[in-house]
Amino acid sequence: MSRSTVDAILLLGPTACGKSALAMRLAREIALEIVSVDSAQVYRGMDIGTAKPSAAERALVPHHLIDLRDPSEPYSAADFVRDATSAIEQIRARGRLPLVVGGTMLYAKALREGLSALPSADREVRARIEARAREIGWPGLHAELARVDPTAAARLPPNDSQRIQRALEVFELTGVPLSQLQANPQRPLLALATIALIPPDRKELHRRIEHRFDAMLAAGFLDEVRALMARGDLNPDLPSMRSVGYRQVWQHLAQATPFAEFRSAAIAATRQLAKRQITWLRSMKDAVVVDPFEADAFERVKALVVERG
């Protein structure tokens, strides 16, 4: 990192690495506001399974981009870039530091590198794609995507429902393959510095993931999802309900799978999420890497934030 001041600092890391606690500790010593980069915390009523900051924490430190949408509504990387850019500009105008904290790496990448000019989500098109998926399955739709956008299909697993749906949606709305549109991103509007919390001790991260998931269960995670299911207007194919943890709880409650089997599957899915997040982080070559489990992690991060903020 050079010493020039940036518009905002990104504090990114895998799930359960301690990002939020570290950010709250920083806020006690630095005049900052937190901008969430979390694709699940944008949804109202999804609190326990997203590890959303508590009301007390949000009263102590202003948080942005939380509780923006109902779980039935879409929210995209383009929405995030627009909302985050606005929040960062307003925080700077108040003379405070915007600290962008979270683990949705697609959103972070979009903010850092810019976005292609993609169409907004279209409910009718998405509904048609979801109906088609119920007929032939997501692998079948992946095969259809391979015919119209082989480049996008080649980088997506056959069951990546959210991204297959988006690629097909973009093609239907524009007639142009998503991969072609993404080849020419717009330049980012903000100057950003990135701190990547990457724990080299994967076993410790896995231990923390398991501990946090059990804490979520004890806090009422199953009841939270039961309440969402009881609304009657949500389904497991919605982006909100495909979030890691929520997807597994929904399946467990809907299919009455054994609790031990469900718990193991949810923890395994969270570990896989963390692995993908770390892969994204390692691709950000300009990021300063800090081991969040080291004793001096807070002091290192604080020094970096003070230097650039």
pLDDT at 113 over 50: yes
pTM (2 d.p.): 0.83
**Residue-level pLDDT at 116:** 74
Question: From CA 198, how far away is CA 293, in angstroms rounded?
Answer: 9
Nearest to 266 by CA among 192, 198, 216: 216
Write the pLDDT tens digit of every residue in 121-146.
888 999 999 999 999 999 999 999 99
Beta-bridge partners for 197 = 290
Rounded CA gap, 170 and 164, in Å? 10
* Mean pLDDT score, 276-283: 96
What confidence tier does 112 reach under pLDDT thresholds 50, 70, 90? very high
- Tell me the average pLDDT across 272-284: 96
Average pLDDT score, the chain: 93
At 213-270, the pLDDT tens digits run: 999 999 999 999 999 999 999 999 898 999 999 999 999 999 989 999 999 999 999 9
Tokens of 234: 């949500």
- Picking from 253, 225, 226, the residue whose alpha carbon sits closest to that of residue 240 is 225
